[in-house]
Amino acid sequence: AHVRGCRCSSLFLSSFFAGSVCFHSGGKKIVGVFYQAGEYADKNPDFVGCVEGALGIRDWLESNGHHYIVTDDKEGLNSELEKHIEDMHVLITTPFHPAYVTAERIKKAKNLELVLTAGIGSDHIDLLAAAAAGLTVAEVTGSNTVSVAEDQLMRILILLRNFLPGYQQVVKGEWNVAGIAHRAYDLEGKTVGTVGAGRIGRLLLQRLKPFNCNMLYHDRIRINPELEKEIGAKFEEDLDVMLPKCDVIVINTPLTEKTRGMFNKEKIAKMKKGVIIVNNARGAIMDTQAVADACSNGYIAGYGGDVWFPQPAPKDHPWRYMPNHAMTPHTSGTTIDAQLRYASGVKDMLDRYFKGEDFPVENYIVKEGELASQYK
């Protein structure tokens, strides 16, 4: 699978478990970083995307002589992850609880060959440093696109219909129809623009079609003309021309150096006053304070999404406290269905890696020193 060569002994001794564990000659040390499930771990046998579920691959890995360490402790020099950086061969992490793979960590990871993202989006990795070090970086392309597109549609409706204040009224024992209805709108007839029309963006546009809204999209690559006609979306080459036309803007672009902080105060000012924004892409695409200020002064009528920077979001993150938001932890792409898909994809790539076979070409983010086109 074109990975950096190993420079370590093929035999490791570990006291990570209750007793010493020996793995076979040729075995690999694999570290997985996932979110902790705690009391919810046993509530669903298909809940595999957590520390306890470990992607459902522990028995398979260990029966084949590999050493598999799983943790949620990822930050700082004293973290569990840091203890294993120097001699791990494979790191599996996830956008929902990302292990930030910095250039400094890559430099320490002398035996690291492969970094896998259980899900979609590998911006938590310093991709240029990974490429320079000869690492392979791959993700499970398509594994949670449906999950995210459905979530985006849900948040659009939640914000347009002013749902959350109504829910909060019920919980508090209140009843004030006017307090909800004065800023509740139909989706039909509104103009919805997506910034990015890749796999998720296209799925969202397809799901929006039955709502009879006007659909626009901006992307570096135009959708296939037949599909564009079938969906009924109009291509906008100039983002700044598209933004003021939209009642709803959905962010569907990857986080790159070009898109980091892209939606700052100046860019938000180009939008229509009273715009609704949904961002399930990456939090760092937005200027955090600019969004909070625009929600507070009413320029943005509602902001929803599940992505933050950093993650987990600190308790004092301004998006937690700004008005008219529909924010949650990063959950849209980690439904049970999505977990099963990305767990299966990770297992398939590990199997190929052990056999020295290539991955599906669309899964590569860094291969032989080259970055995938969306990250260039």
User: Is 255 annotated for ligand binding?
Assistant: yes
User: Is 145 annotated for ligand binding?
Assistant: yes
* Model pLDDT, residue 5: 43
In a domain, 207, yes or no: yes
Domain that holds residue 343: 29-141+336-375
CATH code at 60? Answer: 3.40.50.720
Distance, CA of 206 to CA of 204 (rounded, Å)? 5
In a domain, 185, yes or no: yes
Is 66 an annotated catalytic residue? no
- 176 shares its domain with 41: no
- 119 shares its domain with 56: yes
Question: What token pair was written down for 84?
Answer: 């294993």
- 193 shares its domain with 307: yes
Among candidate residues 84, 325, 330, 341, the one labeled active-site is 330
* Model pLDDT, residue 25: 54
- 198 shares its domain with 51: no
**What is the pLDDT tens value at each position of the chain, 376 positions in all?**
444 444 333 333 333 333 334 445 579 999 999 999 999 999 999 999 999 999 999 999 999 999 999 999 999 999 999 999 999 999 999 999 999 999 999 999 999 999 999 999 999 999 999 999 999 999 999 999 999 999 999 999 999 999 999 999 999 999 999 999 999 999 999 999 999 999 999 999 999 999 999 999 999 999 999 999 999 999 999 999 999 999 999 999 999 999 999 999 999 999 999 999 999 999 999 999 999 999 999 999 999 999 999 999 999 999 999 999 999 999 999 999 999 999 999 999 999 999 999 999 999 999 999 999 888 7
In a domain, 179, yes or no: yes
User: Is 66 annotated for ligand binding?
Assistant: no
Among candidate residues 66, 105, 111, 144, the one labeled active-site is 144
- 322 shares its domain with 175: yes
Is 144 an annotated catalytic residue? yes
Is 84 an annotated catalytic residue? no
Q: String of b and e for 198-227 (b: at least 16 CB within 10 Å)?
A: bbbbbbbbbbbeebebbbbbbbeeebeeee
pTM: 0.89
DSSP one-letter string for 26-45:
T--EEEEE-B--GGGTTS-T
